[in-house]
Amino acid sequence: MSELHLVSEILQWVAIVVGAVVLLGLARQIGVLHERSAPLGALVTDKGPDVGEVAPVFNVRDYHGRAVQIGGERAVGDLQLLLFLSPTCPMCEKLLPTARAFAEQEGLSAVIVSDGDEADHRRFVSTHDLGSVPYVVSPAIGMRFQISKVPYAVLIDHTGRIRAKGLTNTREHLESLLEAHATGYATLQQFLAARRRAAAEARVAVAGTEASRAALTRSGSAAPS
């Protein structure tokens, strides 16, 4: 009889451990599926001024001769969106209407920064409706921010500090800059990584709690009446 009781004890503990492992595995799969559905966000590829640093300040003239300030202090709450484009980049041309609408809807002060041949700029400006968005032709700005790929965006807050940046091929990428700024992380990738760590810690804690609860239940049922 004692042998049967021992075997029963062992089997029940095995069941508890297996249950905890299964629960942890299910939680992990849910986390993976949730992660796959999360937005990728704008990828940071440059080696220029980092997020949190003061952005370089430029006082320049746009294509139409209007004075434009890049960086520097602005009115409280005023975010400046620098959009680095090329007049010969198909993706840039595709993104431009989306970026302009996004900036207007979000109340951002957008500035397009470009480089290249005069003929290409003339065609670009005449072809696209830029509205009131300044179009600045300045190799110096791109070099100072060390932009190597376009379209690329940099979000600067009212104190003149860089709050987010990255490649922006879609509206989702543009939105991720605001998400990164709102969460306090340099990039959306950092925010997602922190969320993954927190989710993993929570899954381990849940598995441990379930195992402890099952053990207490087993101990209570095994106590002599």
Q: Tell me: the pLDDT tens digits for 149-171?
A: 999 999 999 999 999 999 999 99
Residue 11 — φ and ψ, nearest 5°?
-65, -40
- 141 within domain boundaries: yes
Q: Are residues 159 and 95 in the same domain?
A: yes
Domain range holding 19? 2-39+191-222
Q: Are residues 101 and 199 in the same domain?
A: no
- 53 within domain boundaries: no
- 146 within domain boundaries: yes
Token code pair at residue 27: 């939680």
**Percent over 90 (pLDDT), the chain:** 56
Q: Are residues 12 and 25 in the same domain?
A: yes
Q: Are residues 8 and 88 in the same domain?
A: no
Pairwise CA distance, residues 123 & 108, whole Å: 26
- 147 within domain boundaries: yes
Could you read off the pLDDT of 83-134 as tens digits, one per residue? 999 999 999 999 999 999 999 999 999 999 999 999 999 999 999 999 999 9
- 113 within domain boundaries: yes
CATH of residue 150's domain is 3.40.30.10
Higher confidence at residue 132 or residue 8?
132
- 121 within domain boundaries: yes
Could you read off the pLDDT of 49-84 as tens digits, one per residue? 999 999 999 999 999 999 999 999 999 999 999 999
Letter string b/e over residues 148-178, b meaning 16 or more CB atoms within 10 A of that residue's CB = eebbbbbbbbeebbbbbbbbbbbeebbbbbb
Place of tokens 């300045």: 138
- 155 within domain boundaries: yes
Number of domains in the chain: 2
